[in-house]
Every structure is written in structure tokens, then in C-alpha cells.
Chain A
Amino acid sequence: AQRVTQPEKLLSVFKGAPVELKCNYSYSGSPELFWYVQYSRQRLQLLLRHISRESIKGFTADLNKGETSFHLKKPFAQEEDSAMYYCALDSGNTGKLIFGQGTTLQVKP
């Protein structure tokens, strides 16, 4: 079955500390993976996608097919990074996304 798992409901770090938000997926083919972010009182928006291989707001994510993971990383967290983060999988060119349960990132001053 196709599934996305984000094992942490809440991740709390201090400003300036490294951040890693975990995402594991279950899919036998070639996945297309996304990270979405929802800041307080704002709409859910795309943060990055693995095929673009770009860094957005200092965040990067690498697809590891061997470990079926797509963890989101940032070397130095900022308070404005505090938000809900969702990992999502688009399987088989369907246009449908399967979302993980979400991880709340809390960056403390």
C-alpha cells in the first residue's frame, strides 16, 4: 500500500540548531515527493519537490530510495520556520497526493 509516514508529531528546537523533519514512504515505483508547509493562519503551500533539487528558505530534502525516505533538513533553524510541515507522495502520475500526518516544528528563541 502507498503510504507516507512522519514519525514525529512535534519537533522542538532552539534557534540556530539543525533541523531534520523525517518522512518515510511506501511505494514500489518511482515516487514524486513534495514538502508542504502551513504557517500559522496561512494556507498550505508548496515548500519544495524532489525533482527540482533546489533549496527553499534554506531547506533541502534528498530522496533516498534505499531507505525510502525524503527527510527535510535545515542547518540553522529560524523562529520564522515554526509551522506545520507535511510530506506528500504523488504515485503513478495520478495527480493525487498522499499526505503524511504532519509534523509541527517549533523553533524556540
Chain B
Amino acid sequence: DVKVTQSSRYLVKRTGEKVFLECVQDMDHENMFWYRQDPGLGLRLIYFSYDVKMKEKGDIPEGYSVSREKKERFSLILESASTNQTSMYLCASSIDRNNQPQHFGDGTRLSIL
């Protein structure tokens, strides 16, 4: 069974801090994704990666960056956290680009004070 692990379930940070959210998958998946989940807005794609050291912008990349130094790990970085980045963040992975389902982590509920 695919395991996607997000390092924190809950995180509280202050405005202006640099925040790191970590995600690890154990199935050698090529693709990894970061979403934020907000009520009434569904899931919105922030960034994704098709391979190591590759990254592509999703629909709402502003204020975020990512890092994929190893195939199994995909990090989301909030360069200078702001209160409007308070949200649930979901990481996902999939085998490849060929219409494969995505497997999700438990999510990190991030609060920016």
C-alpha cells in the first residue's frame, strides 16, 4: 500500500517566518504534488514535480516554493508566511503522468498568527 507521509499534522507559525512542510512517499512515484484545501474552494494545486530537481507551478504558486532533491521527498516552502496562507496543505504522489490516481497524505493544518 502506498504511504505518503507529511511531517506534521498541525503547525503554528508567525507572520514573516520561513516555513517548511515536508512530504515523503515510499513507492518510487515519479510525480509529487502540493495542494491547499480550503472550504468552498476544493483543492488547489500549488506546485508539482515530475522528477528529481524538476518543479512546475500549479494554479496558486505565489508566496510558495518547492524543493525536490530526492525522488521520495517533496518540500513546500513558505518564504515569508502570511495569515492568508493559513490552510490545510495536502501532499500527493502518483506513479507517472499516464492517468494514474494520486495518493494523498494526512495533511498538515497550518496556522499563521
- CB pair B45–A96 under 8 Å, yes or no, is yes
Given the known interface contacts A34-B101, A96-B58, the answer about A102 and B42 at a Cβ–Cβ threshold of 8 Å is yes
Nearest 4 A-B pairs (CB), nearest first?
Answer: A95-B97, A99-B43, A101-B42, A44-B104
- CB pair B40–A32 under 8 Å, yes or no, is no
Q: How many residues of B contact A (CB 8 A)?
A: 27
Check if B99 is an interface residue, CB within 8 A of chain A. Answer: yes
- CB pair A86–B104 under 8 Å, yes or no, is no
- CB pair A32–B99 under 8 Å, yes or no, is yes
Check if B25 is an interface residue, CB within 8 A of chain A. Answer: no
CA distance in complex: A99, B35 (Å): 10
Check if B81 is an interface residue, CB within 8 A of chain A. Answer: no
- CB pair B42–A93 under 8 Å, yes or no, is no
- CB pair B94–A95 under 8 Å, yes or no, is yes
Contacts of A46 in B (CB 8 A): 101-103
Closest to B107 in A: A43
